C-alpha cells in the first residue's frame, strides 16, 4: 500500500512505513496506525513545501511569481525559522 511518498507494508506482526528510499520511518502494530503516520508525514511535507514557496517569493532575486511580493519582516522571520526548525522533508 502506498500513501503518497510513503509505503506501508506488513513487517512480521507489525506494519512498516518506509520512505521513497526504502528507509524505515515507523513501525506500528496496526495498519490504521501506519496509515495515520504516513498521512501526518505527508501533511508535514506539504506544509514545508508551502513555507519554502513563501520564502522564495519574498527573497529578493528569486521571487518566481511577482517582482513586488512583500510580507512584514516578522512573518518572513517566522517562515524562515519554521523551515530551519522543521528541516527538509
DSSP H helix total and E strand total for the chain: 2, 4
- pLDDT at residue 75, as a whole number: 83
CA distances from 53 to 19, 24, 29 (A): 23, 28, 36
Could you state, in chain order, the average pLDDT of each consecutive group of 10 residues for the chain (89 residues)? 82 94 95 94 84 81 70 82 69
Q: Would the pTM count as exceeding 0.75? A: no
**pLDDT (0 to 100) of residue 67:** 66
Residues 36-50: tens digit of each pLDDT: 999 988 888 888 888
Domains in the chain, number: 1
Range of the domain at 30: 2-86
Amino acid at each position: 500500500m502506498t500513501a503518497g511518498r510513503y509505503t506501508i507494508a506488513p513487517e512480521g506482526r507489525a506494519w512498516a512505513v518506509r520512505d521513497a528510499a526504502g528507509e524505515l520511518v515507523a513501525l506500528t502494530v496496526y495498519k490504521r496506525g501506519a496509515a495515520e503516520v504516513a498521512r501526518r508525514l505527508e501533511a508535514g511535507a506539504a506544509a514545508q513545501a508551502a513555507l519554502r514557496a513563501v520564502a522564495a517569493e519574498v527573497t529578493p532575486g528569486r521571487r518566481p511569481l511577482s517582482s513586488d511580493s512583500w510580507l512584514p519582516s516578522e512573518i518572513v522571520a517566522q517562515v524562515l525559522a519554521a523551515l530551519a526548525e522543521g528541516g527538509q522533508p
